[in-house]
Each structure stands twice: as C-alpha cells, then as structure tokens.
A = this chain, B = another copy of it.
C-alpha cells in the first residue's frame, strides 16, 4: 500500500531530479521513504534519488515498486500551484496511481516495473577532490561553455577549481578560488564531460543553494544536492569522455 501527502513544490523538484535523465523510472517504496536508481539510455549518467518520509506531510507505505511515466507526472504537476498539497494514493487492484489536488483527482496508469530498465549498481568511486559550490555558479559556467563547445573540462589545479571549454576559436574559463567556493578539498584532477548531460542537469542544479562535486582524473564526477527542504538527496554520476587527441 501507498498513501502520502506532500507539498507540490517538493514533489515537482523530486520528479525533475529524475526526469532530467530518464522518462520512465521505478520508484522503490519502503516504510521509510521513496528511492530511485536510474541510468540514462546511453549509459553515460546515473541518478540516485532518495526522499525521506519526513519530506511528506503524511506517508504510509509498505515495500513495493511503482513504474512511473515521468513525462506524464510532470504534466499533472504543472496544474498544481506552488502551495498545493498533493495526495498520492496507490490503487493496487487497478494498478493505478491517484494524484489528488484541491478536489481534482487524476488517475494515472502505472507502468509494469519489469518493462523499465534494470536499476544500475551504484559503483563506489575513489574521488580525491571535493568542491562545494553554489548551484548558480555551475549553471552559469555550463551556459557559457555551451556557446563554444559540446564538452567541458572540470578540475582542480593547486587551490583553484576550474571549468573550461575550448571551441575552434573561442574559449570559456571559469576559475574559482577557495573564498569564492563554499568549500574545497583540493587534489590535482581534471576530466572532460559532455555538456549535453550537464545542461540537462543545470536546471535543478541552478535551484540548489549548494552542490557538492567529487572529482578524479579522467574519472566520473559525482554531483550531489539536497532538495525538499533537506529531506531529499539527489546524486548524479557522469562518465568522463576520454580525450583521444
């Protein structure tokens, strides 16, 4: 069983955190909350999303799995006002999710969880450098980098965190010292990442006050942020592009 009430904005942000990478996802239910692990179709990026029951005004769930069409759920949430309370209820016999807001009930058919890509194993990575940075600072760097290239280097050199994109004629370089960051644990690292993925993530990144980035040398990056007033955590892993030239 599953029945819960949550503020519209928290639910919207949660759906967006996952729909950045995939259109359909398995939402795992436990009495303690909801979680999603998903990998994008090209196997380049992975999202881990955990929403504690404390994010909800009320939350009752037994262990289970919901196959959710995120595009559709996003569309339903567009009808909600920021301050609406959203009630979610699983109709187990009909295999549908009922989404209620101010007298309106949207009964959404669920997807067969077995039709959705298997949950990925989350690899353990040894990433020596860690940066804590304002979300809007990354968002701006991504937006600038897109103007000159499809890829962006992210790394640390000495005490300086940098994001850099090289085009045929133009170049974008963002350098941030310790006092421009929230925190830095330096290590000599640098990897090249696809701006397609970073750009998709940048909408939710831009909203987050604080982003933690773990980095290695030609290694995946791990990017973490909190949402739902601290009761939710999203973690993205993004594979590097190995420079061949």
Contacts and interface: CB of A to CB of B under 8 A. Distances in A.
Interface in A44-85: 72, 75-76, 79
Contacts of A147: 72, 75-76, 106
Interface in A100-118: 102-109
Given A75-B147, A147-B75, A147-B76, A171 B107 contact: yes
B174 A109 contact: no
Which of A72, A75, A103 is packed against the most chain B CB atoms within 10 Å?
A: A103
A144 B79 contact: yes
B176 A106 contact: no
Indicate the size class of the contact surface on chain A: 20 to 34
Interface of A: 72, 75-76, 79, 102-109, 137, 140-141, 143-144, 147-148, 169-176, 180
A173 B140 contact: no
B176 A105 contact: no
Contacts of A174: 103-105
A172 B106 contact: yes
